[in-house]
Amino acid sequence: MDLDLGLSSATELAAEVAAGRLSSRELLTHYLERVERLNPAVNAVITLDVEAATAAAAAADAAFAAGGPTGPLHGLPLTVKDAIATRGMRSTGGAVELADHVPAEDAPVVDAVRRAGAVVFGKTNLPRWSGDAQAFNTMFGTTNNPWDLARGPGGSSGGASAAVAAGLTSFEIGTDIGGSVRLPSHFAGVCGHKPSFGVVPQLGYLDHTTGGVSEADVNVFGPIARSVADLSLVFDVLAGPTADRSVGWKLDLPAPRQERLADFRVAAWLDDATCPVATDVRVLLEAAVDALVASGASVDRSARPDVALREVWDVGVPLISAATSPARTDEEWDRLQALAAATDTDPTMAMRARASVISHRDWLLLDERRQHLRRRWADFFTRHDVLLCPVAAMPAFPHTQHGSLYSRTLLIDGVERPYADVLAWTSFIGFVHLPATVVPVGLTPDGLPVGIQIVAPFLEDRTSLRFARFVEELTGGYQVPPMARLAG
């Protein structure tokens, strides 16, 4: 078998299985061999259940041989982010409190891919309670970027993106509240889709000790893969109502606004003084837009929604901090209350503390501000079909594990910047519930991948996915990290 078969797209692999040229057991064996050879350096896959996966793959092959109905993901082995409950397999959320947690049932998204024929064989690394832009925790250690092992692949779905980039899985399912699908896709050079809020069930999300039975504000589940076609394939499987809602409604998302590149009304917002973009990143974003224009796209580089990027700090990050507050321990909660009440607290820490201990009345007023902003975005999308913007202000950065999300700093173009700037461009899109697709657009001079964020109107996921295909065709999309090549 081709040593690099696992680097193929999920769409290609599904076609091989459907044609009978490749069995699920062969493909599972292949991925397990790649994990054995490559994972020690990357540390993306942290849990394996070979016995159960082998039985599932054998059952998939038997069903195919019997000529029975098969799903769109039939026979494809995959790993799942460890924040998502997976039946019979250790699922920890990256937290020691759940070190021995083995769910009795699947999260709806895991159940969906199984019903579509996929074979779950492992879990991937993440930060504690999915709370960082890197993937490390005290139980499983640090995940490394396949493009540069001294750097991280992003977070919180960093193990997921590294596994996809290195060809350790056919595709992945991640979660995204502040950018946790999109940032890792950008940093590891793969494709990712953050769905419109509410389109994909997020029950089974392990973001605190009693998590999984309710759906967190802002958060979504979405696919990470090696091609945009894969994103669409998996998104169609994941999207739909939860079981209790399915008796009363079904999901019927609109078709893409346009089919031809020349018909899209495109806006490009590639930099902003609130969160300046590194030169190496901006050059690649500009080149991608230039390629679109040269191919007939109409791009307005000055168009902006009536929303300032600053709103991400005034409304977006406070809403995200409130949504993630159940993960705080009692001791952390007491410290946050003290910080919120103090008069001499650092402004950023004060914002985080106040948002984490916010009263319900104040949260409702903050949500009201969000709804006004959502109306402004909707108005913007009456004149434009998609918005192109950065995923992050920087490419993958060296492992940075001291301090916290709000106390670390990063050096960007020689300037020391707050670490939280990593989250600015993704949180800005996420807290207003918009769908966004990330596609790689090239490598920096240091050989680090850069992605672009394609934003579409609420519930018009198929529009961002359709446009992403044009970007992928023009820029080449996913490239294989040199360390992931086993053949030749």
Active site members? 81, 156, 180
- Biggest distance spanned by C-alpha atoms of the chain: 71
127: phi > 0 → left, psi -120 to 50 → alpha, else beta; which?
beta
Q: How far is it, in rounded angstroms, from Cα 8 to Cα 301?
A: 35
Collect all residues with Cβ–Cβ distance below 8 Å to 88 and sequence separation of at least 6: 49, 52, 102, 103
- Measure Cα distances from 13 to 27, 28, 77, 118, 211 in Å: 9, 12, 10, 12, 34
Cis peptide before 180 (omega within 30 of 0): no
Name residue 439's beta-bridge partners: 452
91: phi > 0 → left, psi -120 to 50 → alpha, else beta; which?
beta
3-state helix, strand, coil in the chain (%, to 5): 40, 15, 45
Nearest to 436 by CA among 161, 111, 180: 180
Collect all residues with Cβ–Cβ distance below 8 Å to 274 and sequence separation of at least 6: 308, 309, 310, 424
Q: How far is it, in rounded angstroms, from Cα 72 to Cα 390?
A: 32
Query: Is the distance from CB of 450 to CB of 425 less than 8 angstroms?
Result: no
What tokens does 275 get?
Answer: 């969160």
- Measure Cα distances from 88 to 100, 105, 106, 295, 403 in Å: 11, 7, 8, 50, 35
* CA angle (256, 259, 261) in 5-degree steps: 120
Query: Is the distance from CB of 83 to CB of 135 less than 8 angstroms?
Result: no
- Measure Cα distances from 63 to 25, 77, 170, 402 in Å: 13, 16, 20, 50
Query: Is the distance from CB of 76 to CB of 118 less than 8 angstroms?
Result: yes
What would you report as the CA-atom Rg of the chain, rounded to the nearest whole angstrom?
Answer: 21
Nearest to 429 by CA among 472, 468, 458, 469: 458
Q: How far is it, in rounded angstroms, from Cα 221 to Cα 239?
A: 9
Give me the amino acid identity at 78: L
